């Protein structure tokens, strides 16, 4: 199924089917997610269950099967496409005799690799620590000591108490730094509102082509790649639509199914650009077989951050992959509701600019931009 491992991290993947209609697409996406983290998938262990096992998440027989595959493949870790409890993670590690990670830890690791701005790195670390607090990972304290944490350990304290205290101190500091960054962002946003600038946030499922579209429209050079979570940090640029109209466009982190709540919470400061936008450009990979499920996943996260009432313009992207033509779709009242484009080839961008000009003239509800 997979090429032989040639060095670097390698893992056995576990995907259990709980009678989900889009299970196989979820498996394919998980393999891509693992590869995006720089880990080589050696094998996928699958199985059907009615409900998770309280002790191991998978059944006892399935855990034995996983352990056998780990030994046969010489894997260094096992990654579950599910969220595991701390107890399940510990039980599995003891039984399989290798490191076990869950989906949340994997996504956090990808985020840690991709964050570029100071604020993005703060948010990732805060999300990681929130996850660690439930597990109190071994070795956290010695990393703090390497950074000059000598003297933080109190006399008579146990390792667990020290870990908990150090994490608490760091979390408090991170929240203070993020609060400062949030105030700066709010000040910038108020200045834009005073200038009467129309704000547009690009949202969509990860790898739908948001950053490619952002670059094509604004001539920016932010990182864009055919991989999950290529972009984490919000970038804003002024976009001139014609001689009379301009907007501020912001590229944002991509969403994914079963996005951990700790990540949504930690990235709330960045996602505030989305919450306070006048319009959301919802980019969709028009060729993806699960595009409807992806649209639903994005809308669920938008609802979670309080952005569900902001008007959306659908952007059906990657039309070039199926010989599609640029086009505009209207609703029954003649209002533009979707534009078909190829961000990679630059097709349909003129139609998209026209749609944005029209959107600027539409009366909208108060999105609390102040």
The domain locations on the chain are: 10-101, 115-175, 186-361
Tell me whether residue 268 is exposed, middle or buried, using C-beta atoms within 10 angstroms of its C-beta: 0 to 12, 13 to 18, 19 or more. middle
| Contact indicator for 226, 258 with CB cutoff of 8 Å | no
Phi-psi region of 260 (alpha: psi -120 to 50; beta: other; left: phi over 0): beta
Question: Which residues participate in the annotated binding site for Mg(2+)?
Answer: 211, 231
Q: In sequence order, which residues have a C-beta less than 8 Å from that of residue 314 and are 6 or more positions away?
A: 282, 284, 329, 337, 338, 339
Asked whether the beta carbons of 88 and 56 are under 8 A apart, the reply is: yes
pLDDT given at position 20: 85
DSSP 83: P
Residue 141 confidence (pLDDT) = 43
State the pTM of this model. 0.74
With H, G, I as helix, E, B as strand and everything else as coil, classify residue 204: strand
Structure tokens at 239: 């976009």
Non-local (6+) Cβ contacts of 250 within 8 A are 199, 200, 201, 202, 234, 235, 236, 273, 274, 277
Q: How far is the C-alpha of 234 from the C-alpha of 253, rounded, in Å?
A: 7
Residue 364: what pLDDT? 55
The pair phi, psi for residue 19, each rounded to 5°, is 60, 40
Residues 288/301/133/97 CA torsion (nearest 10 deg) = -20
Query: What is the structure's pLDDT at 6?
Result: 45
Please provide residue 198's backbone torsions phi and psi, each rounded to the nearest 5 degrees. Answer: -85, 130
Choosing among 3.20.20.140, 3.40.190.10, 3.40.50.150, 3.40.50.300, the CATH entry for 186-361 is 3.40.50.300
At residue 111, the 3 state secondary structure works out as: helix
272 SS3 class: helix
Q: Which segments are annotated as binding site for GTP?
A: 204-211, 229-233, 251-254, 317-320
Write out the CATH class of domain 10-101.
Answer: alpha beta
Residue positions forming the annotated binding site: 204-211, 229-233, 251-254, 317-320
Task: Report the alpha-carbon angle 240-241-242, nearest 5.
Answer: 100
pLDDT beneath 70, residues of the chain: 1-8, 136-162, 189, 192-196, 221-233, 261-262, 265-270, 273, 363-370
- CB contact at 8 A, 57 and 93: no
């Amino acid at each position: 199924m997979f090429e032989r491992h040639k060095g670097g991290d390698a893992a056995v993947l576990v995907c259990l089917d709980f009678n989900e209609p889009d299970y196989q697409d979820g498996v394919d996406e998980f393999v891509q997610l693992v590869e995006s983290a720089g880990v080589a998938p050696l094998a996928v262990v699958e199985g059907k269950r009615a409900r998770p096992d309280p002790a191991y998440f998978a059944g006892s027989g399935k855990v034995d099967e996983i352990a056998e595959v780990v030994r046969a493949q010489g894997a260094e870790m096992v990654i579950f496409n599910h969220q595991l409890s701390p107890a399940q993670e510990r039980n599995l590690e003891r039984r399989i005799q290798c490191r076990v990670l869950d989906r949340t830890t994997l996504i956090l690791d990808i985020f840690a690799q991709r964050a570029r701005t100071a604020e993005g790195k703060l948010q990732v670390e805060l999300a990681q620590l929130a996850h660690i607090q439930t597990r109190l990972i071994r070795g956290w304290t010695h990393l703090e000591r390497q950074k000059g944490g000598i003297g933080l350990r109190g006399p008579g304290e146990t390792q667990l108490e020290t870990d908990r205290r150090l994490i608490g101190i760091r979390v408090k500091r991170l929240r203070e730094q993020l609060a400062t960054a949030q105030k700066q962002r709010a000040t910038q946003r108020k200045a834009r509102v005073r200038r009467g600038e129309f704000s547009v946030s690009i949202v969509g499922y990860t790898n739908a082509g948001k950053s490619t579209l952002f670059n094509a429209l604004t001539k920016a050079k932010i990182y864009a790649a055919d991989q999950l979570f290529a972009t984490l940090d919000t970038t804003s640029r002024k976009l001139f639509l014609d001689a009379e109209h301009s907007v501020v466009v912001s590229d944002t982190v991509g969403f994914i199914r079963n996005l951990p709540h700790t990540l949504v919470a930690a990235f709330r400061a960045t996602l505030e650009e989305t919450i306070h936008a006048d319009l959301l450009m919802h980019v969709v990979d028009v060729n993806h077989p699960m595009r409807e499920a992806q649209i639903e996943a994005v809308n669920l996260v938008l609802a979670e951050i309080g952005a569900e009432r902001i008007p959306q313009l659908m952007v059906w992207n990657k039309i070039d992959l199926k010989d599609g033509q640029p086009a505009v779709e209207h609703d029954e009242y003649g209002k533009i509701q979707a534009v078909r484009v190829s961000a990679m080839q630059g097709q349909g961008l003129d139609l998209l600019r026209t749609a944005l000009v029209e959107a600027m003239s539409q009366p909208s509800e108060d999105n609390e931009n102040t």
